[in-house]
Amino acid sequence: MITLKDLAGLAATYADDLDREVVPLRVGDRMVDTDKEPVLMGVVNLSRDSNYRESIAVDTESALRKARVQAAQGAAIVDIGAESSRASAAAADDETQLRALLPVIEPLAADGIVVSVESYSPAVVAAGLAAGARVLNLTGSNHDEEMFTLAAKHEATVVLCHVLGPHARALDGSDVERDPVPGMLRSFGSRTEAARRLGVTDIAIAPGLGFGFRLDDPRARARYQATALLHSFRLRRLGVPVCHALPHAFDVFEDQFRSGEGFFAVMAHLGGTGVYRTHEVPLVRSVLDAVASFSTDG
């Protein structure tokens, strides 16, 4: 159970990290102070292997409709991916991904919607950025130098996921530590420095909750995710916004699972998150609006 006593202890233990400032994040043509204006990243999945049925687009028109709706609902970024990160998902080659992605990215970019291309493939990223994507959601680390060079060339913002390997499906969970923050500080620190050396100016870091995290007990997995969300403020010492793909914990919420991301959004907020990747844009937007309205600062 999460209690005020637990939260007070967490804040006291890491008091030096509580008020650390992070730089604004470029979202399209805007610079956003994510502590004052949380950035919502909607999700459209072009792969039928994705485990969140409501975000799956069955064809190009479906993807365009879903993306435009999410933008109207308050998504500052719409993340488009053509391959699922589920451990059991089939790999999609570059040609297959691009055949699905490009007809979606180009019209959305023409509409002025800030599109994120989610990939670990340099060929997919190169084509996606050339088609108008303004954000790279980087879900692998084997090609960092090439990816950072591409992002710099297109002046793209990079969301740097904690996937130390070719892609999320290659992870077996053996690197999950009781306290993963020190390791993340080291890996994110070195990768953000490398990105900046290669000309990337705008970066957010994504701890990647659940990537490679294998537990037979789904509730234990959800507990780990909740704890990690609350500890996220410790990553702010790197000076860049924290991005979280909000969990939905189907085994906890069951038929009410679509409310799960709203629940976890509160924990992410308490943990100092600036960018919220969500399948449920209006729900998370209303939750964050409520949190801001109930602030004791005013």
- The CATH number assigned to the domain holding 146 equals 3.20.20.20
Residue 55 in any domain: the answer is yes
pLDDT of 189 strictly over 80: yes
pLDDT of 214 strictly over 70: no
The tokens describing 247, both together, are: 């969990």
| Residue 132 near residue 113, CB atoms below 8 Å | no
Residue 173 in any domain: the answer is yes
> Average of pLDDT values for 256-275?
95
pLDDT of 175 strictly over 60: no
Residue 23 in any domain: the answer is no
| Per-residue pLDDT band at 53 (split at 50, 70, 90) | confident
Its domain, for residue 148, covers: 31-293
Residue 25 in any domain: the answer is no
Residue 94 in any domain: the answer is yes
Residue 276 in any domain: the answer is yes
Angle subtended by helix axes 144-153 and 181-197, to nearest 10: 50
Check residue 163 and give its pLDDT: 82
> Average of pLDDT values for 35-44?
97
pLDDT of 44 strictly over 80: yes
pLDDT of 21 strictly over 60: yes
| Residue 233 near residue 272, CB atoms below 8 Å | yes
Judge if pTM exceeds 0.75: yes
Tell me: the pLDDT tens digits for 60-88?
999 999 999 999 999 999 999 988 666 55
The domain total for the chain is 1
The tokens describing 105, both together, are: 């990215």
Check residue 170 and give its pLDDT: 61
Residue 11 in any domain: the answer is no
Residue 16 in any domain: the answer is no
Please state, for a pLDDT cut of 70, what percent of the chain lies above it: 90
